[in-house]
Amino acid sequence: MSNSNAYVERILDLVAQRDPDQKQFKDTVTEVLKTIAPVLDAHPEYEQQKLLERLVEPERVVSFRVVWQDDKGEVQVNRGFRVQMNSALGPYKGGLRFHPSVCLDILKFLAFEQVFKNALTGLPIGGAKGGSDFDPHGKSDAEVMRFCQSFMTELYRHIGPDVDVPAGDIGVGGREIGYLFGQYKRIRDRYDAGVLTGKRIDYWGSLARTEATGYGLLYFVKNMLDAKGIDLKDKVVVVSGAGNVAQYAIEKAQAFGAKVVTCSDSNGYVYDPNGIDLDAVKEIKQVRRGRIKEYVETHPQAEYHEGCKGVWTVACDIALPCATQREIDLESAKTLVANGVTAVGEGANMPSTLDAIAYFQEHKVLFAPAKAANAGGVAVSALEMAQNSERLQWTFEEVDERLKGIMKNIYTQAKKNAEAYADPDDLVAGANITAFSNVAEVMMAQGLV
């Protein structure tokens, strides 16, 4: 075993031994560390300076109690967290997730992933993630507001435009960002617009931020397919999720001429042989905050199936997981390959398990890994910070053009490093090598911190 491989194994053992219950964190650390041996080989000083030991330990973890009152007057107690993983490249940056499954394991995996994703954007942002086990489903606007106010009453002391800049993620969209921002402004008594991104357009938000993750995913996938001479036009696309990322992935896939036949939520999936009617999905999800099964009430040709895993049994050319982590396991990967899938683009964070990724790669499926393919959202968040700093708002076209350029650059760098150091189509290795090199160099330059 080379020195570098031994070093990597030692760190993976350390992670497992320190936090044996944090399986998802261990998976994401494994995914990155298993691909960066060429960089470690070229830089023995990283091991001497314990760079990996530092990378796998968050700079700071904040955990707090969130007390609020529901509409019946009952007191509710939730957990709040912020994991500030790495600030080498800039202020901590990353979303807030409100979902009952939120725990330290999930937030550490997301924060670790965010460090490298943010490095790929080439923009000056460190990595963080936060959230709560609060479930916004079925809550009134007033309950969501009271929860957000209580959450921010603790979080405000740990964030700021040059300190840590949260945004949305699962369960946190424009409504929640609005309530969080209002409370921050009230407590600080100042208009720190750049403390949160994903704000509405009418108060310091960026045009195209709402669309950015889904659009960026399609820009990345298009770059990957173009390089192989494959056209998106008329390709059959299967999308999971029906939230922010899924909706705008569907929109851009359709704009490129593809036929998207599915979307889903945590209860089940819809298959529409005529192609998903996106306006209907937006109406159900954005306006009514309803369930995806309502789609078939107005679209009798479509089918609704309980259980979200079934979405991967629908035959397709391209699969775009845009719901949540670990939604494609080895079994689903095998089904997709057996049905002839050509490309997989990850809109969600770590939607494919490690064995599913390995299976796709063994079977020569073009694979666009999450930290590269879904970086468009945080990239436009960084552009929102830039606009807030100059107190100007750029046009939709300007932001969208920059997003296209950023996604192209991420693809080009990942491809270049895949060709130089791994299998030429291994964008997992290519993206990890690019991101790790950037973060490691800067950490070395900043000394022992």
Q: Which residues are catalytic?
A: 129
Strands (E), 212-334: 236-240, 259-264, 268-271, 303-306, 318-321
The residues pairing with 190 across neighbouring beta strands, listed in sequence order, are none
Mask: binding to ligand NDP, 152-191, rule CB under 6 A, as x and -? ----------------xxxx-x------------------
Residues between 110 and 169 that touch ligand 2IT (CB under 6 A): 114, 117, 167, 169
**377 contacts ligand NDP (rule: CB under 6 A):** yes
- Under the binding rule (CB under 6 A), the answer on residue 91 touching ligand 2IT is no
Closer CB to ligand 2IT, 129 or 146, in the complex: 129
Compare residues 66 and 383 and give the one whose CB is closer to ligand 2IT.
Answer: 383
DSSP 54-113: HHTS-SEEEEEEEEEE-TTS-EEEEEEEEEEEE-SSSSEEEEEEE-TT--HHHHHHHHHH
- Contact between 199 and ligand 2IT (CB under 6 A)? no
Q: Is 349 in the site for ligand 2IT (CB under 6 A)?
A: yes
Residue 94, binding choice from ligand 2IT, ligand NDP, none, Cβ under 5 to 8 Å by partner class: ligand 2IT
State yes or no: residue 349 binds ligand NDP (CB under 6 A). Answer: yes
Tell me which of ligand 2IT, ligand NDP, none is bound by residue 308, counting a contact when its beta carbon lies within the kind-specific cut-off of 5 to 8 angstroms.
ligand NDP
Pick 113 or 265: Cβ nearer ligand 2IT: 113
| Strand runs labelled E in 232-373 | 236-240, 259-264, 268-271, 303-306, 318-321, 343-345, 366-368
Looking up tokens 């889903």, which residue turns up?
Answer: 264
Sign of the dihedral defined by the CA atoms of residues 216, 218, 221, 227, in that order: negative
Q: Per-residue DSSP letters for 218-236?
A: HHHHHHHHHTTT---TT-E
Kind of pairing between the strands at 318-321 and 236-240? parallel
Instruction: State which residue, 98 or 360, has the beta carbon closest to ligand NDP.
Output: 98
Tell me if 194 contacts ligand NDP by CB under 6 A.
no
Q: Would you say 285 and 309 are in contact if contact means Cβ atoms under 8 Å apart?
A: no
Residue 323 as a binder of ligand 2IT (CB under 6 A): the answer is: no
Q: Is residue 308 at the binding interface for ligand NDP, with CB under 6 A as the rule?
A: yes
Tell me which stretch binds ligand 2IT (CB under 6 A): 11-19, 25-33, 296-304, 376-384. Answer: 376-384
Pairing state between β 127-132 and 92-98 = parallel
Report how far apart, in Å, the C-alpha atoms of 243 and of each of 182, 199, 202, 265 are.
24, 17, 22, 8
**232, 323, 344, 439: residue in contact with ligand NDP (rule CB under 6 A):** 323
Residue 357: CB atoms within 10 A of its CB come to 22
Our CB check for ligand 2IT shows the closer of 108 and 146 to be: 108
* Neighbouring C-alpha atoms within 13 Å toward the C-beta of 282: 11
Interface with ligand 2IT, residue 93, by CB under 6 A: yes
Q: Which does 2 bind (CB under 5 to 8 A by kind): ligand NDP, ligand 2IT, none?
A: none
Task: Give the whole-angstrom CA distance, residue 397 versus residue 413.
Answer: 24
- Residue 424 DSSP class: T
Is 122 a binding residue for ligand NDP by CB under 6 A? The answer is no
Instruction: Provide the minimum distance between the beta carbon of 378 and ligand 2IT in the complex, in angstroms, as a whole number.
Output: 4
197 binding partner (options ligand NDP, ligand 2IT, none; Cβ < 5 to 8 Å by kind): ligand 2IT
Minimum distance from residue 297 beta carbon to ligand NDP (Å): 17
**Between 246 and 440, whose beta carbon lies closer to ligand NDP?**
246
Q: Which is nearer to ligand NDP, 5 or 409 (CB)?
A: 409
Q: Is 378 in the site for ligand 2IT (CB under 6 A)?
A: yes
Strands 268-271 and 303-306, sheet pairing: antiparallel
**Range in contact with ligand 2IT (rule: CB under 6 A) among 77-85, 290-298, 374-382, 412-420:** 374-382
- Which residue in the shown chain puts its C-beta closest to ligand 2IT? 95
In the complex, the smallest distance separating the C-beta of residue 209 from ligand NDP, rounded to whole angstroms, is 8
CB closer to ligand 2IT out of 197 and 438: 197
Taking CA atoms, 281 is separated from 263, 268, 272, 285, 367, in Å, by 9, 14, 12, 6, 27
CA distance 67 to 75: 7
The number of angstroms, rounded, from the C-alpha of 401 to the middle of its chain's C-alpha atoms is 21
Question: Interface with ligand 2IT by CB under 6 A: which residues?
Answer: 93-95, 114, 117, 167, 169, 197, 349, 377-378, 381
